[in-house]
Amino acid sequence: MISCLKNKGVVFYENEEVIDIKVTNGTISNITTNKQELIVDEVVLAAGSWSPLITKKLDIKIPVQAGKGYRINTIKETGISIPAILCEAKVAVTPMQGFTRFSGTMEIAGINHKINTVRVNAIANAAESYYNNLEISPKEKATAACGLRPCSPDGLPYIGKSSKCKNLTIATGHAMMGWSLGPVTGKLVSEIISDRKLSLDLAPFHPDRKF
Ligand SMILES: Cc1cc2nc3c(=O)[nH]c(=O)nc-3n(C[C@H](O)[C@H](O)[C@H](O)COP(=O)(O)OP(=O)(O)OC[C@H]3O[C@@H](n4cnc5c(N)ncnc54)[C@H](O)[C@@H]3O)c2cc1C
């Protein structure tokens, strides 16, 4: 996908942090990163759990909380070939190429990547209790990682333009469904920016909605 976009002329600035945004007459004119200053015409904000930190600079409130989830990968042959959700334990099981991934938990503990081993062990224990002969090693538990899901108060993402800024399209708050919903959100964002007919009524996802 990335090489396809690069072939079409899309330029990626990697490992670069947006540190300031300049607004002139309700329109973003410049974005300053830690490496350069960009003059912009349209801006898409898709900064996940960090989105409120950026909209704060624009005096826009986007309530998003980081919901931390953990994953453990096991490279041992597990014989698991069917993805599953262990409903009672709230653990997702995903056979990947060369390893099996167990993931779960929703920890509301701010923006950080600290690993809570109690939660990691709970995922491992749950997985082992569902699958005969499955053993997750201490090393695999020790290399567990976490990620931050951007969660909104009503569980719906924010997709659309804030009334406070003409050229800012917000696309965040996808919580546990960001990989699945990324493509459709991308399509909607392109329709918003190019002023095309929307494929979906976006009223429930409006960034200005109140709770
Ligand atoms: C354990 C786990 C399992 C999951 N499983 C699934 C699943 O099976 N299916 C599914 O659909 N979803 C799943 N998700 C959820 C999915 O990962 C999220 O919904 C998705 O990552 C949200 O995407 P995003 O692009 O909005 O935010 P992020 O992925 O958080 O991306 C935001 C990006 O913005 C960058 N950023 C922040 N601030 C700045 C700044 N100032 N300047 C520049 N860049 C900045 C961050 O570095 C980050 O790269 C899972 C999440 C976890 C944690």
Let me know whether 158 and 60 are in one domain. Answer: yes
55 and 95, same structural domain?
Answer: no
Residue 4 placed within a domain: no
Both 48 and 79 in one domain: the answer is: no
- Report pLDDT for 207: 97
Q: What pTM, to 2 d.p., does this model score?
A: 0.94
Q: Which pLDDT score, from 0 to 100, does residue 93 have?
A: 97
**Whether residue 95 sits in one domain with residue 55:** no
Angstrom CA distances, 83 to 79, 94, 96, 100, 101, stand at 12, 5, 9, 9, 10
Whole-angstrom Cα distance, residue 136 to residue 72? 9
What the block records as the tokens of 152 is 């909104």
Measured by CA distance, the residue closest to atom 2 of ligand 1 is 69
Residue 16 lies inside a defined structural domain of this protein: no
pLDDT computed for residue 45 by the predictor: 98
Q: Which residues does a 6 A CB cutoff place in the pocket of ligand 1?
A: 17-18, 46-50, 54, 69-71, 92, 103, 147-150, 172, 174-180
The pLDDT of residue 1: 83
Q: Indicate whether 89 and 128 sit together in one domain.
A: yes
Same structural domain for residues 108 and 50? no
One domain, residues 138 and 122: yes
The answer to whether residues 171 and 207 touch, using CB atoms and an 8 Å cutoff, is: no
Please identify, by atom number, the ligand 1 atom nearest to the C-alpha of residue 92.
8
Q: Which residues contact 208 (CB under 8 A, 6 or more apart)?
A: 162, 163
Query: Is residue 93 in a domain?
Result: yes
The total of structural domains in the chain comes to 2
Which of 106, 107, 119, 149 is the best mutation target for the ligand 1 pocket, counting ligand atoms within 8 Å of the beta carbon and taking the most?
Answer: 149
Residues 58 and 70 in one domain: no
**pLDDT of res. 176:** 95
| Ligand 1 atom 46, closest CA | 47
What are the beta bridge partners of residue 195? Answer: none
Ligand 1 pocket test target in 105, 179, 180 with most atoms within 8 Å of CB? 179
Residue range(s) defining the domain that contains residue 186 = 43-64+154-205
Which residue lies with its CA nearest to atom 22 of ligand 1? 178
Specify if 79 maps to a domain. yes
Residue among 123, 81, 119 nearest 99 (CA): 81
Domain end point (choices 108, 123, 151)? 151
Within a domain: 12: no
Ligand 1 centre and the CA of 48: distance in Å?
5
| The predicted structure's pLDDT at residue 64 | 98
Ligand 1 geometric centre to CA of 148 (Å): 6
**Ligand 1, atom 35: closest residue by C-alpha:** 47
Collect the ranges in the chain with pLDDT lower than 50. Answer: none
Within a domain: residue 34?
Answer: no
State whether 50 and 122 are in the same domain.
no
The answer to whether position 132 is within a domain reads yes
> Looking at the structure, do residues 133 and 173 belong to the same domain, yes or no?
no
SS3 for 122-168, per residue? HHHHHHHHHCCCCCCCHHHHHCCEEEEEEECCCCCCEEEECCCCCCE
Point out the domain boundary residue: 136, 151, 166: 151
CA angle 131, 129, 109 (to 5 degrees): 115
Task: List Cβ neighbours of 209 (8 Å cut-off, separation of 6 or more).
Answer: 154
What pLDDT is attached to residue 86?
A: 97
Please give the structure tokens belonging to residue 1: 């996908």
Residue 106, CA distances (Å) to 21, 81, 122 in order: 32, 25, 12
Residue 134: what pLDDT? 96
CATH of the domain at 94: 3.30.9.10
> Looking at the domain assignment, is residue 24 inside a domain?
no
